[in-house]
Amino acid sequence: MLTVFGVIAVSIMFLAYWLEPRSKWMVLIFAGGSALTAAYSGLVAAYPITVIETLWALVALQRFWRRHHSERLSAVAAG
């Protein structure tokens, strides 16, 4: 069951990364997938991966926030 969780987590990351140019929400989903992968790697005691995936999740959250803020400013400027 744990392996299935890991496969799902990494699949979410992959698909969200692939679809990222289509929507800012894919960046947020990527962050969630990274967090799930961090949880999985912690459960299997792969702690270096846990740290890296946690950092990826934080970077993705920052990217989502910047993109969201930028799109909101563009919408306000447009009208």
Q: What is the pLDDT of residues 50-68, one digit of tens each?
A: 999 999 999 999 999 999 9
Does residue 78 have a pLDDT over 90?
Answer: no
User: CA 3: distance to chain centroid?
Assistant: 20
Q: How far apart are CA 8 and CA 54, in angstroms?
A: 17
Q: How far apart are CA 66 and CA 79, in angstroms?
A: 20
Taking alpha carbons only, the member of 22, 11, 20 closest to residue 60 is 20
In the predicted model, what is the mean pLDDT of the chain?
95
Contact indicator for 24, 68 with CB cutoff of 8 Å: yes
Contact indicator for 60, 27 with CB cutoff of 8 Å: yes
